[in-house]
């Protein structure tokens, strides 16, 4: 009985269907990769960045999003084509999926909110991959921006996966020069003119740092205390390098003050 069912014609039909299914899967993979290459060349081979004035970080973010959309679209189309090989009515299946999707959408408001917020994050270029941002009580480097979630890596190496719908406020630290601020306490006994000259020397030395965009410059006395005055230096730095500049300035000023024996402020309790 079984030998009567399994005929050469049946083997040909099975082989044909298998070959077509494999061809559909292979085509989906090849199309996905080819489109990915086209997207990379458009954004990074002088097309999108130069012609459309995309920043590199934004171009990288858009590239990953487009690749994700293409991947899922290719898989969906391939799945429908494979089902069609088994004579499954894909039209009714898609329509049924749409009805189910609408029903699920009523109870998936948070998911919809995540997608809508993610869309506007990309559209408005609020942040991109590689940016250092602060949102609510989290801060870190953006490793991935998706339509549903944002992946943030903090300074301790912890990866935070944040639903886009939960992001209410974002502070981006990498879109413009930041300001380094150094406050220097100077004892009342110190010669202010000498201190100003030494601070000028420290500023001149720091101007050679590649991290400094503008300055440093002396603001002057910004506070007056019982035991000392506070003098302030400021400088504009490239994003995320303000701490390095502040540290270098403090080190240079400490060396100069020690070399020229500038008196240090003393606590009032130690002064007779």
Query: For 184-229, how does the pLDDT look when each residue is reduced to its tens digit (9 = 90+)?
Result: 999 999 999 999 999 999 999 998 899 999 989 999 999 998 889 9
pLDDT for residue 37: 76
Q: In this model, does residue 257 exceed pLDDT 90? A: yes
* Radius of gyration over every alpha carbon of the chain, rounded to an integer in angstroms: 31
Bigger pLDDT: 62 vs 162: 162
- Mean pLDDT, rounded, for 120-131: 82
Q: What is the pLDDT of residue 84?
A: 73
Contact 248, 209 (CB under 8 A): yes
- Compute the half-sphere exposure of residue 262: CA atoms within 13 Å on the CB side of its CA: 24
Average pLDDT of every residue of the chain:
79
Contact (CB, 8 A) for 249 and 180: yes
Please tell me whether the peptide bond between 216 and the residue prior to it is cis, using omega within 30 degrees of 0.
yes
Whether 259 has a pLDDT exceeding 50, the answer reads yes
Average pLDDT over residues 84-99: 63
Are residues 260 and 198 in contact, defined by beta-carbon separation less than 8 angstroms? yes
Is 18 a residue whose pLDDT tops 50? yes
Confidence (pLDDT) at 76:
77
Residue 97 pLDDT class (50, 70, 90 cuts): low
pLDDT of residue 61: 67
**Is the pTM of the predicted complex or chain greater than 0.85?**
no
Evaluate if residue 43 carries a pLDDT over 80.
no
pLDDT confidence of residue 6: 56
pLDDT computed for residue 10 by the predictor? 59
Phi, psi of 143 (to 5 degrees): -100, -25
What's the first-to-final CA gap in the chain, in angstroms?
A: 115
The CA distance from 111 to 206, in Å, is: 50
Question: What are the two backbone dihedrals, phi and then psi, of residue 159, each rounded to the nearest 5 degrees?
Answer: -95, 120
């Amino acid at each position: 009985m079984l030998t009567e069912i399994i005929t050469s014609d049946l083997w040909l039909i099975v082989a044909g269907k298998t070959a077509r299914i494999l061809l559909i899967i292979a085509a989906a993979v090849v199309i996905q990769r080819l489109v990915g290459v086209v997207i990379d060349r458009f954004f990074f081979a002088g097309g999108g960045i130069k012609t459309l004035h995309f920043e590199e970080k934004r171009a990288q973010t858009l590239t990953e999003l487009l690749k994700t959309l293409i991947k899922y679209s290719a898989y969906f189309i391939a799945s429908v084509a494979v089902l069609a090989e088994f004579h499954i009515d894909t039209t009714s299946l898609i329509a049924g999926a749409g009805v189910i999707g609408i029903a699920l959408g009523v109870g998936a408001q948070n998911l919809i909110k995540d997608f809508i917020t993610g869309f506007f994050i990309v559209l408005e270029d609020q942040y991109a991959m590689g940016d250092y941002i602060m949102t609510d009580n989290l801060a870190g480097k953006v490793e991935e921006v998706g339509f549903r979630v944002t992946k943030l890596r903090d300074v301790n190496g912890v990866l935070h996966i944040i639903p886009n719908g939960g992001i209410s406020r974002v502070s981006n630290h990498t879109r413009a020069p930041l300001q380094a601020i150094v406050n220097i306490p100077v004892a009342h006994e110190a010669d202010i003119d000498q201190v100003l000259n030494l601070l000028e020397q420290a500023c001149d030395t720091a101007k050679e740092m590649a991290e400094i965009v503008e300055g440093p410059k002396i603001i002057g006395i910004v506070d007056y205390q019982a035991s000392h005055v506070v003098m302030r230096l400021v400088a504009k730095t490239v994003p995320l390098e303000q701490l390095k500049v502040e540290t270098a300035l403090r080190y240079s000023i400490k060396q100069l003050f020690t070399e020229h024996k500038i008196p240090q402020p003393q606590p009032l309790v130690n002064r007779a």
